[in-house]
Amino acid sequence: MADSISVAAVEAVDVSKRYGYMEALKSISLRIECGEFLALFGHNGAGKTTLLRLIATHITPSAGMVKIFGEDAFKDNGIRRRIGLVTHSSFLYDELTVRENLLFYAAQFGVNEDEFLDTVECLDMRRWYDVQVKHLSHGLRKRADIIRALSHDPDLILLDEPFSGLDNETCEVLVNYFNGERARARGRGGRRKTLVMASHSLEWAKKLCDRGISLHRGEIVGEMSL
Ligand code: ATP
């Protein structure tokens, strides 16, 4: 598998995505370096979710090329194993406990419980571990969803508006966790996580991300250091 210091985590070249007549992304080119934390900004309908879902390989582009860690994202090359995605919709089963959900998803990647218990601790979910998901508040469910997406220790973390609807305390927990991931990279022999998140909050994005990109009607219209 192609992977070296010079390989980008994400490389998109002239990527477009159409839904019927609607062009949600218009010839986007973007490079996200390994270890970078990037925020995607834009009004409702700008194309942020579409871009995240493309990078996650959940949808295919209508035109253009997407490489993840130097590999064609749409070839069956196991690249999904290296990606963790949190969307607006929860992937958790209401009737199962947090633990049962996490075990279910982790098993799909051959991951054991001890491999994600640290994340459960860091996101302060131990108290709700044996609670059915249907009894969790929005913020707790979001935390559980994030742990689910991280349970297989992905190198590329994709978050769609992770702070939306969360109180400040929960936002802090998330920011501290992901900033801690940068520090923990040293313990992983320098294997750094890359994070891309859609956000309506410049304030929280600034606490986490290095760079921001603005989308407007499917086009990149601005870029900034955060
Ligand atoms: P928001 O901030 O509201 O989540 P967004 O920036 O994430 O918006 P997208 O969800 O990517 O925007 O949507 C971009 C455009 O594509 C919108 O006009 C949306 O209506 C359209 N769109 C997204 N998904 C689909 C779909 N499955 N079928 C048809 N149109 C879609």
Segment 186-221, tens digit of pLDDT = 565 667 899 999 999 898 999 999 999 999 999 999
Tell me, using a 6 A CB cutoff, whether residue 48 lines ligand 1.
Answer: yes
CA distances from 141 to 27, 89, 94, 133, 174 (A): 35, 11, 10, 7, 13
Cβ neighbours of 95 (radius 10 Å): 10
Ligand 1 centroid, distance to 63 Cα (angstroms): 17
Show the domain range for 120.
36-57+81-225
Which of 93, 24, 6, 106 has its CA nearest to residue 64?
24
CA-CA-CA-CA torsion for 209, 214, 218, 220, nearest 10 degrees?
-100
Given a cut of 90, whether residue 61 has pLDDT beyond it is yes
Tell me, using a 6 A CB cutoff, whether residue 168 lines ligand 1.
Answer: no
DSSP-assigned beta bridge partners for residue 68: 10, 71
Considering the chain, what is the average pLDDT of its residues? 90
- pLDDT mean over 141-159: 93
Helices (H) and strands (E) in the chain, counts: 6, 10
Whole-number Å distance between alpha carbons of 126 and 119 = 10
- Does the residue 28 lie in any domain? no
Given a cut of 90, whether residue 93 has pLDDT beyond it is yes
- Does the residue 126 lie in any domain? yes
Q: Are 2 and 70 in contact (CB under 8 A)?
A: yes
Q: Provide the domain count of the chain.
A: 1
- Does the residue 167 lie in any domain? yes
- Does the residue 108 lie in any domain? yes
**pTM for this predicted structure:** 0.92
Tell me, using a 6 A CB cutoff, whether residue 42 lines ligand 1.
Answer: yes
Given a cut of 70, whether residue 96 has pLDDT beyond it is yes
- Does the residue 74 lie in any domain? no
- Does the residue 63 lie in any domain? no
Given a cut of 90, whether residue 90 has pLDDT beyond it is no
Per DSSP, 97 falls in state B
Tell me, using a 6 A CB cutoff, whether residue 84 lines ligand 1.
Answer: no
Q: Are 88 and 160 in contact (CB under 8 A)?
A: yes
* Kind of pairing between the strands at 211-216 and 219-225: antiparallel
Whole-number Å distance between alpha carbons of 88 and 166 = 13
Q: Tell me the best of 40, 41, 49, 53 to mutate to test the pocket of ligand 1, counting ligand atoms within 8 Å of each CB and taking the most.
A: 49
- Does the residue 87 lie in any domain? yes
pLDDT at 164: 84
pLDDT at 113: 93
- Does the residue 16 lie in any domain? no
Ligand 1 centroid, distance to 20 Cα (angstroms): 12
What are 7's two structure tokens?
């390989």
CATH number, domain of 194, equals 3.40.50.300
- pLDDT mean over 34-63: 95
CA distances from 93 to 103, 119, 126 (A): 12, 19, 18
